[in-house]
Amino acid sequence: MTRYCLVGRVDPERLEDYREAHRAVWPQLLEALRDAGWRNYSLFLRDDGMLIGYAEVDDLAEAQARVAATEVNTRWQAAMAELFAGEGAPDEAWDVVPEVFHLEDQLRAYESAGGAR
């Protein structure tokens, strides 16, 4: 499973609307995300509108495509579109940030090379 960091931008004037929508995401969308392979998915929102997503999936493009093919996602994206800064569908506007460090990976490598525990 690969870890992904995703960055987007919410309209700073719509932050509370965005937070409110995510307090109780539609159950059908939760199921669609799970069934498409999204795991350990979290969103973090700064007060300036910077949105950071974290997810673990086997293949990000495939997981995104599987969710995008659902009717519930089409409705959710239409509802969320007015809350985002910029053009295009919110679920397509993510920038992927490459991972450069993961504690557990490095600890495993160190310990498997005979490092002290």
Q: How far is CA 7 from CA 62, 94, 113, in A?
A: 18, 5, 35
Q: How far is CA 18 from CA 38, 61, 69, 81, in A?
A: 20, 24, 23, 10
**What's the pLDDT at 117?**
64
Mean pLDDT in consecutive groups of 10 residues from the start of the chain, 117 residues: 94 97 97 98 97 96 96 95 81 88 93 82
d(CA 105, CA 101): 8
Is this model's pTM higher than 0.95 or not? Answer: no
Identity (one letter) of the amino acid at 7?
V
Q: What domains can you pick out in the chain, each with its CATH number?
A: 2-112 (3.30.70.100)
The catalytic residue positions are 22
**What's the pLDDT at 66?**
97
d(CA 38, CA 40): 7
Give the N- to C-terminal CA distance of the chain in Å, as an integer. Answer: 25
